[in-house]
Amino acid sequence: MKEGKLSEPVWERSVLKGIVTRKENMVSGVGLGRTGNIFKTGEPYTIVSSEADFLLWDSSPYNRDISGKILFHRAVNACAAMGAKPVAVQVQLLCPLAFMESDLKALMSSLKEEAEKLGISLVPGKIESSSFVYAPYLVLNGIGAVKTEEPYYKIEAGQELLLTKWIAIESTVLLARKYEKELLSHFTPVFLGNAQKLLQYISVVPEALVAVRHGVKAMLPIEEGGIFGTLWELAKGAGLGLEVRAKDIPIKQETIEICELYHKNPYKLPSAGSLLMAVEHGEQLKWELLNAGIPSTVIGVLTDKSERVLLNGEEKRFLELPKMNELGEGDN
């Protein structure tokens, strides 16, 4: 593609056709001559925009159809974890000149598919090509609405720590896709298929909505640093300690075996698809989530001490701040 802004024909046939617009919440969107997106919300609601997530989009066959999807859900998950109802995701993309229009179509198509699943809008920001980049940079922002009169973040000692689904969902899918041929020499096709199908659990929007109705005021998606990193972040940010029972942290057998094969620590792996919550009545929320088809586990409690303790039977050790990318650049 040529350097600079996309031409109108390319914009219309490869970007606009991949855009999802919900008339009930969209006033005006980015287009030729327009540089922003305007959303309408009824009082007392306000717009929430999540922290931007970005990656070097991978167009290789094993990753082409999922790298954008995972980033999409990271952006939406971050928005939902703030107590907001997601309404849109904004796409920004900076492409190298060698980036093919077929790759652009594939990317937009994969993002459109995920937006339609959640019933939210997918809107474009700046999408350009440049001679100064050698790989496509994809940036996504989640946008949502939340009630303004309800203060969100509330965390205190005595609250239980509840974790939805299983850890390392995202990383299990990525490893299972990248090393598919090699893994088939160790595991059955059914086993590997189950690992790859974990992608269907990548969104935490359903459990976040249940949690908000339950009155939960503190949620964090499990991303870089894995469950250990997120536990550390939650406690450190609140100035609290915690006690977590290692054996209660839910993990799939497929994750255990694939991580053992590649010497990865699943407790430190990126895990979009899991949501950590600080809650008043963990068991009650657990059953509410189960009624919505979402498994969850109470794994520990926040304390008024400074220690962040991981209990494993009679063994006791202290949580340390883990590396932010335990998966490794070559496995993303």
Residue 15 has pLDDT above 90, yes or no: no
Q: What are phi and psi of 129, to 5 degrees?
A: -120, 150
Residue 30 binned pLDDT confidence (cut-offs 50, 70, 90) = very low
Q: What is the pTM of this model?
A: 0.84
Res 31 pLDDT > 60:
no
What local confidence, expressed as pLDDT, does residue 136 receive? 83
The answer to whether residue 38 scores a pLDDT higher than 50 is: no
Distance of alpha carbon 65 from alpha carbon 157, whole angstroms: 42
Q: Which domains does the chain have, with CATH numbers?
A: 4-147 (3.30.1330.10), 160-331 (3.90.650.10)
Confidence of residue 33 (pLDDT cuts 50, 70, 90): very low
pLDDT tens digits along 252-277? 999 999 999 999 999 999 889 999 99
Asked whether 260 and 175 are in contact (CB, 8 A), the reply is no
d(CA 293, CA 285): 12
For 74-101, the pLDDT digits (tens) are: 989 988 888 888 999 999 988 888 888 8
With contact defined as beta carbons under 8 Å apart, do 144 and 85 qualify? yes
Instruction: Report the distance separating Cα 21 and Cα 199, nearest Å.
Output: 25
DSSP at 11:
I
Quick check: helix, strand or coil at residue 225?
coil
Q: Residue 140 forms beta bridges with which residues?
A: 53, 91
Surface-to-core class of residue 145, CB atoms within 10 Å of its CB (0-12 exposed, 13-18 middle, 19+ buried): buried
- When the pLDDT of each residue in the chain is averaged and rounded to a whole number, the result is 83
For the cut 50, the answer to whether the pLDDT of residue 302 exceeds it is yes
